[in-house]
Amino acid sequence: MISLKKAVLFLLFTFYFLLNTTKAQDTSHLRISLLTCTPGEELYSTFGHSAFRVIDSSKAFNDNWRDVVYNYGTFNFDDDGFYLKFVRGKLLYYVSAEIFSSFKDLYQSTNRGITEQVLLLSAAEKIAIQNFLNENLKEENKYYKYDFFLDNCTTRLRDILKKRHDSSFCKKPVMPVGSRFRQAIHQYLDKNNKDWSKLGIDILLGKPCDVIMTAEQMQFLPDNLMKSLDSSNKPMVISSQNLYPITNQNSKGSFFTPFVVFSLFAIFIVLLGYSKSRFAQAFLQGFDGLLFFLTGVLGIVLIFMWFGTDHSMTKNNFNLLWAWPAHFIMAFFVNSKKAWVKKYFKFTVIALLLVLCSWLFLPQQMNNALIPIVLLLIYRSIKKSYALV
């Protein structure tokens, strides 16, 4: 029978052995995890956020910088020419570091959840990642040109793990094969009932947004990177937890979606066209000028976003098939009875009818809320090319 003394010695020896084995395996004193934040109410936060959390247990418990969050989604509102740089795709984002408690308090106060995945990394990998992050914090290294789809706060973290750990987690798709960038962001916009934001985004983003994503490209969204780590064939996560509870809010969408508003407005203009009153006809003449002027301005904006910016996804925009920059000039001739004006509007009718016939077959997914606007352009062009009222 084993004596109590021998049993205690055995337990102490086992504990000592396990303790030293653990130390031999990981002497970095680091714990690195991926933080994935849920979407917020504002458009810029609709798609969530990602950051790295690094805990250095070699530092004292009262050291605030023992627990740090590295965030690649930081930008400066006070930057000279902020809005122009943002529009042109030249705004520089940068990596910043903050105390975890402050980061957590901000997201918790806005009812945005945080999921933490503790990453399975070797001691050497943890040290390499921490050194890289700290090196990136230096003024000469911290800035980068942000691209929402290809180079953002989430893809930066993915690339760090690829280079300093393993890239196998990038090979397994977490969305249906054949998914496109536009479909990926539509999921979030539809879920949060952001119909007007969806319309604006669909107008500005061109054909590149409709290419099929690779498994790695799917990880531009924070949720997708989190899922990729969880489902990787090679274990990537030691543990996962939600850091605090949040209140689930089921927001109801408005009846007045862009499609409904534009349809009602188009019907109103058509009905007004049957009126014989001078006021109605004068109103329609002024409306036609405004309609074609604003459509032309939109076309000019789309041309600018294509050729005058660094945004990768605003190129080759098929919305230019109906938003012609030439309308900007023709807006000043809508009430002219000259033959060349009539020919212009006849051509507009034919061209826009062809656009509508091919609407569902274009290489770029078009927003259906724009159909009433295109129909309105056709209707008023018919009036200008034939009746000239």
Please, which pLDDT band fits residue 253 given cuts at 50, 70 and 90? confident
Contact 74, 93 (CB under 8 A): yes
The angle that helices 278-307 and 258-272 make with each other, rounded to 10 degrees, is 140
Q: Is 254 helix (H, G, I), strand (E, B) or coil?
A: coil
Say if pTM beats, i.e. exceeds, 0.85.
yes
Question: Count of CB atoms within 10 A of residue 40's CB?
Answer: 17
Asked whether residue 9 carries a pLDDT value surpassing 80, the answer given is no
Average pLDDT over residues 143-160: 95
The position carrying tokens 């569902």 is 360
Rounded Cα–Cα distance for residues 389 and 375 (Å) = 17
Mean pLDDT, range 110-116, rounded to an integer = 95
pLDDT tier at 13, thresholds 50, 70, 90: low
Q: Return the pLDDT at 174.
A: 95
Cα 367 from chain centre: 17
Checking if the pLDDT of 52 tops 70, the result is yes
Mean pLDDT of 298-305: 97
Q: Where are the domains of the chain?
A: 27-177+191-242, 258-387
Find residue 49's DSSP bridge partners.
37
Q: Is the pLDDT of residue 326 over 60?
A: yes
The residues pairing with 99 across neighbouring beta strands, listed in sequence order, are 68
Of all helices (H) and strands (E), which one includes residue 37? Answer: strand 30-37
β 49-56/114-119 pair status: unpaired
For the chain, give the number of residues: 389
Crossing angle for the helix pair 258-272 and 371-382, nearest 10 degrees?
Answer: 20
Give the pLDDT band (50/70/90) at residue 44.
confident
Residue 80 confidence (pLDDT) above 80: no
Mean pLDDT across 42-47:
88
Q: What does the alpha-carbon distance between residue 227 and residue 218 come to, in Å, rounded to a whole number?
A: 10
pLDDT at 330: 96
pLDDT-derived band at 21 (thresholds 50, 70, 90) equals very low
- Amino acid (1-letter code) at residue 365: Q
67: closest CA among 102, 92, 94, 41?
Answer: 102
Residue 117 CA to residue 157 CA, distance in Å, equals 13
Residue type, 157: L
Confirm if 46 and 60 have CB atoms less than 8 A apart. Answer: no
